Amino acid sequence: MSHAWMPASPCGDGCVSGAPGQVGAFRQVWRAVTALTALLCGVWIAVALLLPSKQRESVIRLWFHAVLRAFGVRLRVHGAKKFQAMPERGVLVVSNHVSWLDELAIDSVQPIRLVAKKDIKSWPVLGRIITAAGTVYLDREKLRELPQTVNELTATLRNGSAVGIHAEGTTWCGLASGHYKPALFQAALDAGVPVRPIVLRYRIGDHVTTQPAFIGSDTLVDSVRRVLKIKGLVVEVHVLDEIAPGRAENRRELAKLAEEQSNRLTSTELEIAPSTGDSHRARTITPLVA
């Protein structure tokens, strides 16, 4: 069921540019086998939950990084090396949304609880692992459940955890971006914790690429196959300055502050190449509401 408040993106099939270079068939098969093996090893992550907090976080972070590398993706982190400036103080991590790789990249920096679309829970292998990582699922077709989700996030933040949301509410191609939806920012206000904006960018060489984007008519399998072929893919995680509690009076102001900070980075530090095509069919994989 569709509602007027559902996030939408104009990005579609035509936004996915051609790859400047691809790895050979043998490397593609090797990546697929390695990635599947790494994912299947994730069933043992539950054992890590028995470890002390620092060791547990390190094991989980290294596993996510290993999965990312298995797909042939390199990680670069700019700014702070963790999302939490102070241990045991909650923080709302707010990012743009391009690909299913986003979650792997974010958790490779610091494992956090993420808010995701309910459908992800049914994804083969990856869905179970994401669920085990403490993901909060949101059914955007049931607006009445939103206050419960906000309350759950608020409690988690008050307990000192880092929680992540994709503030645009849907995937974009990576060259364009959408307005940040304010609904879940309420949890940061209620918990009295800072907001940490981050920006995800996918590059091949010196240029931003739309190849990893999960948009248009893509299925998960289509997108995975395309990623397995990409040569020299790098995901950059730009960790920006925290927005301290009290800088905004309401969730709309807070969302605007986070969006403006992310946009300043985009305009001053990131090289944005022209998009190709004009398809407007969007693929939503982690929707949040306004």
pLDDT of residue 128: 67
pLDDT of residue 1: 44
Q: How far apart are CA 147 and CA 180, in angstroms?
A: 18
Beta bridge partners of 195: 92, 243
One-letter amino acid of 57: E
Q: What is the pLDDT of residues 141-159, one digit of tens each?
A: 666 777 888 888 999 999 9
Max Cα–Cα distance, the chain, nearest Å: 55
pLDDT of residue 7: 65
Q: How far apart are CA 263 and CA 268, in angstroms?
A: 9
pLDDT of residue 273: 44
Please, are residues 285 and 135 in contact by the beta-carbon 8 Å criterion? no
How many angstroms from the chain centroid is the CA of residue 73?
15
pLDDT of residue 121: 66
What are 149's two structure tokens? 């989700």
What is the model's pTM? Answer: 0.85
pLDDT of residue 267: 64
Beta bridge partners of 251: none
Helices in the chain by DSSP H: which ranges?
Answer: 25-41, 45-48, 53-70, 101-109, 126-132, 146-158, 185-191, 220-229, 251-269
Please, are residues 162 and 113 in contact by the beta-carbon 8 Å criterion? yes
For the chain, list residues with pLDDT below 70.
1-8, 19, 45-51, 117-134, 138-143, 266-290
199 CB neighbour count, 10 Å cutoff: 23
How many angstroms from the chain centroid is the CA of residue 203?
16
Instruction: Classify domain 13-269 at the CATH topology level.
Output: Glycerol-3-phosphate (1)-acyltransferase (3.40.1130)
pLDDT of residue 92: 97
Nearest to 103 by CA among 78, 136, 80: 136
Please, are residues 236 and 203 in contact by the beta-carbon 8 Å criterion? yes
Q: What is the pLDDT of residues 216-264, one digit of tens each?
A: 788 888 899 999 999 999 999 999 999 998 899 999 999 999 999 998 8
Q: How far apart are CA 234 and CA 208, in angstroms?
A: 9
Nearest to 114 by CA among 129, 105, 103: 103
Please, are residues 151 and 173 in contact by the beta-carbon 8 Å criterion? no
| 3-class SS of residue 208 | strand
Residue count (the chain): 290
Q: How far apart are CA 1 and CA 15, in angstroms?
A: 26
Please, are residues 192 and 152 in contact by the beta-carbon 8 Å criterion? no
pLDDT of residue 275: 39
Beta bridge partners of 166: 95
pLDDT over 90 for what percent of the chain? 46
